[in-house]
A and B are shown apart, each in its own frame.
Chain A
Amino acid sequence: MIEVRGLTKRFGTLTAVNDISFTVDRGDAFGFIGPNGAGKTTTIRMLATTLKPDSGTVTINGHDIAQDPAAVRACVGYMPDFFGVYDDMKVWEYLDFFGAAYRVPWQRRPGLIGDVLELTDLSDKRDEYVDALSRGMKQRLCLAKTLIHDPDVLLLDEPASGLDPRARIEIRQLLQQLCKMDKTVFISSHILRELADLCNKIGIIEQGRLVMAGSVEEISAQLAGGKTLIIRTTNRLQEACDFLAGRPEIGSAEIVEDAIEAIYQGEPDQQHRVLSALVEAGFQVESFAEQETSLETLYMQLTKGAVS
């Protein structure tokens, strides 16, 4: 698990990460979302112990990053946003090198290399040169490298950036598999769809500040303004809209294309009353549905896009 308290990092006069705190429990998949330049990479680098924070504490699996960085590194797999590969190096050698760098005993390395190659679907590329692989394969290889010492915590910085749709989907499937393996996964991205199906928790960062953090449901509930109802009628749409706007539990109602979008602000379990009222008033209700708040909607509501 990851526990971050008051983490701050300044570069000169710029405060890249400003007093952020959050907790990621074991087995959680935490999506760290924010526009480019919001401080995602800086935060991840501090968690991975490659950058020293100016203030604040981080403990990963009970080890403090400042007190015992070696213990943190041993249980963390880190995939940077920009990563390089070496020329003149074969896939298995690349993995063997990182295995050795993480002090995996040499007897165990061949087996582990086989395992991670299979997981990342690169088994047939074992003896190919790393620089001859496609970008998507390199990204998968880097993930394989991240897994070579079987870390409990994965820190993945934009794992699917710059990939074509197919490779993107492959990476996502791979990540889903990892989430099921009871690892704590911390993924950053500026693209919401990447994280929507993967994560059970999200944190949104903008201009170095954590705007919000928690489970997707929690964040939806915290958002003021209530739920959006989508209502279609076969007759008198405008009248129905005016009727709804006049009711106390409806915040506002307007016609969008062929449906009414009404913001419901009443008691959570009293939504059916709106429907009954509509029917009693003689409107022929064709559909009555609650719009699911997507991550994308949340994101757009929470951030002002000041950085990007």
Chain B
Amino acid sequence: MTTGVLERGLYRLLRFNPCVAVHELRMRMRGGRAFVVFFVYTLMAIIPVLLTVAMTAWQGSMFGPGMGMSQTGLGRVAFIALAYAQLSLILFVLPAYAAGAITMEREKRTLEMLRATLLSPSDVVTGKLGVVVAFGAILLMTSLPVAAWCVLLGGVALGDLFYVYTYLFAVAVWVAALGLFLSTLVRRSIGAIVATYVILLIWCVALPILLSILVPMLGFYNWDPTQPIGYVGALSLITGFGLLYAWLLFLALRWLWRRLFKHAARWLETVVVVAVTLILTALFAIGLGSIIWHPLGQAVSWVALSFVHPYAGLSFILYAEAAEAAFAAAGTAATASMAGLQTYSWAIATGLFVLMGVALWARSVGLFRKRS
């Protein structure tokens, strides 16, 4: 008997056993620990906002009224500070929760009992991922009052609030899935947590630094100035080709690695292959950007790249509106092609992080099944 993919998916969905999620929530939310985390998180998110407001007030008192930032500017700057602070906090807090999820069961010797039950691999992995994602969502929500304050200060549209918070949630899904994936891949908790942080460090810090050194050295510059095809067109092209290229490159590099280093640790393989794939994809996108679209080619390719870089993605969502406004004021030829840039970049960046999260979730379920 053959059933369709859809039917099977629906059947699985209906058979989903939420007890792992319930059990995880019971353990994680018990006692004061979770609330201490929420409290510290909110505090850490507020500090940059307060600093921004204090700085502006100080500037105002030093140089007289009107010399510091305007009142509308203040709300916006405070909101931007809040957004970056939250992104850093999410990237810092969630791996610790996610990367121990499966390895802890192994270390506490409860995994064997869990495997003997009627729970399917996806029940276990999805339940655990769901709770870490929910935890991230609660963290984000605790900062909503601070964001509301920024809105009151002016300069922040409700649309901005929506874009930024959904984007941060997508990043939370991705980080949680990455941590959980490494938790199924690596045998011990400490290894899984270290591997997650190392990958995030390479992804968020080492990669941009490396690229900012490499790109000017290699010098992909304008040799064929063609007609502008618009930001949106160029972005789609570069992102599409970039993703395809990245995927093929990843498979090829992994194949090569497994032949060269047969007995190397799995986490090392993951770290090296992912890092090399990212660097080469970045160079590819920049090259492509320089070739297909001359005047702003490099800028566009940086933007395309930024969709898989948490900080760059956030910057783009936060500043796209300003860029649109600036272009409109200057009245350049590109003005028309800038329309809807914020929505478009939000959709791509958010979509990509959710997609990466889902892919990692699917791999985790597969790995968990294979190991049982």
Say whether A associates with B. Answer: yes
A residues near B, CB below 8 A? Answer: 45, 48-50, 70, 73-74, 76, 78, 80, 82-89, 93, 97-98, 100-103, 145
Tell me if B332 is interfacial: C-beta within 8 Å of chain A.
Answer: no
> Which chain B residues (54-113) contact chain A, with CB distance < 8 Å?
105, 108-110, 112-113
B31 touches A70 (CB 8 A): no
Who on chain B is nearest to A74 by CB?
B118
Judging by beta carbons under 8 Å apart, are A76 and B116 in contact?
yes
Q: Which residues of B contact A100 (CB under 8 A)?
A: 17, 19, 22-23
- Bound-state CA distance A93–B22 (Å) is 10
| Interface presence of B266 (CB below 8 A) | no
Chain B residues, CB < 8 A from A82: 109, 112
Q: Are B115 and A50 in contact (CB under 8 A)?
A: yes
- Note all chain A residues with C-beta closer than 8 A to B113: 78, 80, 83-84, 98, 145
Q: Report A-chain residues with C-beta under 8 Å of the C-beta of B30.
A: 88
Q: Is the CB of B108 within 8 A of A89?
A: no
* Residue B372, interface by CB 8 Å: yes
User: In the complex, are the beta carbons of A83 and B112 less than 8 A apart?
Assistant: yes
Q: Does B26 contact A (CB under 8 A)?
A: yes
Q: Are A87 and B110 in contact (CB under 8 A)?
A: no
Could you name 27 residue pairs across A and B whose Cβ atoms are closer than 8 Å? A45-B112, A50-B116, A70-B118, A73-B116, A78-B113, A80-B109, A80-B112, A80-B113, A80-B116, A83-B109, A83-B110, A83-B112, A84-B109, A86-B27, A86-B108, A86-B110, A88-B26, A88-B30, A89-B26, A97-B19, A97-B23, A101-B17, A101-B114, A101-B119, A102-B117, A102-B118, A103-B118
Q: How far is the CA of A88 from the CA of B28 in the complex (A)?
A: 8
Query: Chain B residue with minimal CB distance to A93?
Result: B26
Digitize B116-128: 1 where CB-to-A-CB distance is under 8 Å, 0 elsewhere.
1111000000000
Pairwise interchain contact B110-A89, C-beta atoms closer than 8 A: no
Residues of B within 8 A of A73 (CB): 116-118
Q: How far is the CA of A70 from the CA of B17 in the complex (A)?
A: 14
Chain A residues near B112: list those with CB within 8 A: 45, 50, 80, 82-83
Q: Is the CB of B19 within 8 A of A101?
A: yes
Q: Are A48 and B26 in contact (CB-based, < 8 A)?
A: no
Query: Separation in Å of the B271 CB from the closest CB of chain A?
Result: 27
C-alpha spacing A84/B107, complex, angstroms? 9
Q: Across the interface, which residues of B come within 8 angstroms of A97, CB to CB?
A: 19, 22-23
Contact at B23–A103, with CB atoms within 8 Å?
no
How many residues belonging to B are interface residues under a CB distance threshold of 8 Å? 22
* CA of A58 to CA of B53, assembled, Å: 71
| CB neighbors of A among B118-141 (8 A) | 118-119
> Please, how many angstroms separate the alpha-carbon atoms of A181 and B31 in the complex?
40
8 tightest Cβ-Cβ pairs between the two chains A and B: A100-B19, A84-B109, A84-B108, A101-B117, A84-B110, A78-B116, A97-B23, A50-B115
Roughly how many angstroms separate A170 CA and B20 CA in the complex, as a whole number?
A: 32
In the complex, chain A residues whose CB is within 8 Å of the CB of B20:
101
A76-B26 Cα distance, complex, nearest whole Å: 27
For A97, the closest partner residue in chain B by CB is B23
Q: Nearest A residue to B109 by beta-carbon distance?
A: A84
Interface residues of B (CB under 8 A from A): 17, 19-20, 22-23, 26-27, 30-31, 105, 108-110, 112-119, 372
User: What is the CA–CA distance of A84 and B113 in the complex, to the nearest angstrom?
Assistant: 9
Closest A residue by C-beta to B110: A84
Q: Are B110 and A49 in contact (CB under 8 A)?
A: no
Q: How far is the CA of A217 from the CA of B223 in the complex (A)?
A: 93
CB closest chain-B residue, reference A51:
B372
Q: Which residues of B contact A50 (CB under 8 A)?
A: 112, 115-116, 372
The answer for the CA separation of A50 and B119 in the assembled complex, in Å, is 12
Q: Give A98 to B20 CA distance when docked, in angstroms.
A: 9
Neighbouring B residues of A48 by C-beta, 8 Å:
116
Complex Cα gap A83–B108 (Å): 8
CA distance in complex: A93, B26 (Å)? 9
What residues on A are CB-neighbors of B109 within 8 Å?
Answer: 80, 82-84
Query: For the complex, what is the distance from the CA of A202 to the CA of B22, rounded to whole Å?
Result: 41
Interface centre among B23, B31, B117, B372 (most CB of A within 10 A): B117
Q: For B26, what are the chain A residues with a Cβ–Cβ distance below 8 Å?
A: 88-89, 93
Complex Cα distance, B105 from A83, in Å, reads 10
The distance from the CB of B164 to the nearest CB of chain A, in whole angstroms, is: 34
Nearest CB in chain A to that of B31: its residue: A88
State the Cβ distance, B28 to closest chain A Cβ, in Å.
Answer: 8
Q: Is the CB of A101 within 8 A of B118?
A: yes
Q: How far is the CB of B37 from chain A (nearest CB, A)?
A: 14
Contacts of A93 in B (CB 8 A): 23, 26
A87 & B27 in contact (Cβ 8 Å cutoff):
yes
How far is the CB of A152 from the nearest CB of chain B, in Å? 15
Query: In the complex, what's the smallest C-beta–C-beta distance from B112 to chain A, in angstroms?
Result: 5
Chain A residues whose C-beta falls within 8 Å of the C-beta of B119 in the assembled complex: 101
Known: A87-B27, A98-B113. 7 other contacts (CB 8 A): A49-B116, A78-B113, A84-B105, A84-B110, A89-B23, A101-B19, A101-B119
Interface centre among A78, A82, A93, A97 (most CB of B within 10 A): A97
Bound CA–CA A49/B113 (angstroms)? 11
In the bound complex, residues from chain A placing their C-beta under 8 Å from that of B116 are: 48-50, 73, 76, 78, 80
- Chain B residues with CB under 8 Å of A145's CB are 113
Q: Which residue of B lies closest to A145 (CB)?
A: B113
Complex CA–CA separation, A193 to B280 (angstroms): 66
**B117 (CB) vs chain A CBs: closest residue:** A101
Measured CA separation A73–B116 after assembly (Å): 6
Bound state CA distance, A71 and B90, in angstroms?
A: 42
Residues of B within 8 A of A101 (CB): 17, 19-20, 114, 117-119
CB distance from A154 to the nearest CB of B (A): 12
The residues of A that contact B105 with a CB separation of less than 8 Å are 84
CB distance from A80 to the nearest CB of B (A): 5
The docked-state distance in angstroms from the alpha carbon of A145 to that of B116 is 12
Residues of B within 8 A of A102 (CB): 117-118
Q: Which residue of A lies closest to B108 (CB)?
A: A84
Residue of A74, A85, A101 with most chain B CB atoms under a 10 A cut-off: A101
On whether A89 and B27 interact (CB within 8 A), knowing A83-B113, A84-B108, A100-B19, the answer reads yes
